[in-house]
Amino acid sequence: MPPQIYHLIAFLCAAVVVLWSTPDVKNIGIKSGRLDKPSDRKVHHRPMVRLGGVSIFAGTIISLLIVWWLGGFGILPTEKEWQIWGVALGGIGFFLIGLADDLLNLSPIARLLMQIVVAAFAWKVGVSIDFLSIPTGGTVQLGWWSLPITVVWLVGMVNAINWIDGLDGLAAGVSGIASVVMLVVALFMQQSAAALIAAAIAGASLGFLRYNFNPAQIFMGDGGAYFMGFTLAAVGVVGLVKTAAVSAVLLPFLILAVPIVDMSAVILARLRRGKSPFVADKSHLHHRLLQAGLSHRLTVLFIYSLTLWVGSLALAIAGIPSGIIYACGATSLLSYTGWKVWKRSRQS
């Protein structure tokens, strides 16, 4: 069986599991009363089940188990197979933290401490940034700096995806676009292990949009956001940063630039106002676009376009054939949606 078939199987299995299981998860959430109630800071106006991350997690893990059962891991070197299990174990840990927060409403400090512990475990089992390639040639070994740098990257991306999950379909769509770009880049760079994980998370996140796009029927909750954030960050580590190509170091940051920049800007704004970075407010990009008069859907579609644009730049930088054409097409799409945003804001 051609290796690329396993990636297609991972994508389709994850999507099918999510599409099949999400209605059941929604019904369980309603019966158990696990609902996200409206508030001044939140956009939705009626109680919503926020356990959709259970379906996303199940779809991703089940699809990887199916690929493993079919012999798909046999195409990988032994150390690459262990990287997949390392990512899976770390994903389980972050999913459980998020699920516990959905059910028990953990304090910010407790969440952060648990995230650091799980990220350190992921580093121990191989999801680690060990070196950085430099433009002048060669690599810089990080030594003991590998642990804190890896932990900051993993924990940072987990929270970046969670923070951007403020509108129907926003986090799922951004994660889906980013994972598809990572899949293409990983395949081009012959990183089959990372590509398998990216294919699974892409199928799960895009399948979840069937129920999460505006008007949403269910939210992914912290469990889904934490799981997707960690998985995307881990794919960037095992599939891109660990390669010797100089451009590979920049690719994960570029592909995930939208949630990274949004989180960084929000933290700086809160600190400048003398507030704790952990205290939620309405200073995120999607909040500002809504305040400018944009509709819910146009705000989400504009951020999708922005994510697709930076992803297309990553394709071009990675040297993928026709990457420049994709970048030009994405630039045209972003220009059009940007014009729509400007026009709508002027009318408000």
216-273 per-position pLDDT tens digit: 899 999 999 999 999 999 998 887 766 655 566 778 888 999 999 999 888 888 888 8
Higher pLDDT, 79 or 97: 97
Whether residue 86 is contained in a domain is answered as yes
Query: How is residue 148 written in tokens?
Result: 């804190």
Whether residue 98 is contained in a domain is answered as yes
pLDDT, tens digit, for every residue of 4-52?
789 999 999 999 999 999 999 999 988 887 777 766 666 656 788 989 9
Whether residue 41 is contained in a domain is answered as yes
Give the whole-number percent of the chain exceeding pLDDT 70: 87
Whether residue 53 is contained in a domain is answered as yes
Whether residue 201 is contained in a domain is answered as yes
DSSP string, 206-253: HHHHHHHSSSPS---HHHHHHHHHHHHHHHHIIIIITSS-TGGGTHHH
Nearest alpha-carbon partner for 130 in 37, 213, 237: 237
Output the pLDDT for position 244.
55
In the predicted model, is pLDDT for residue 86 greater than 80?
yes
Whether residue 102 is contained in a domain is answered as yes
Nearest alpha-carbon partner for 155 in 217, 108, 216: 108
Q: Say whether pTM exceeds 0.75.
A: yes
Tell me the longest C-alpha to C-alpha distance in the chain. 60
Query: Could you list the residue range(s) of the whole structural domain that residue 103 is in?
Result: 3-254
Output the pLDDT for position 241.
67
Whether residue 314 is contained in a domain is answered as no
What SS3 class is residue 18? helix
Number of domain units in the chain: 1
Whether residue 162 is contained in a domain is answered as yes
Least-confidence region, from 49-53, 277-281, 314-318: 277-281
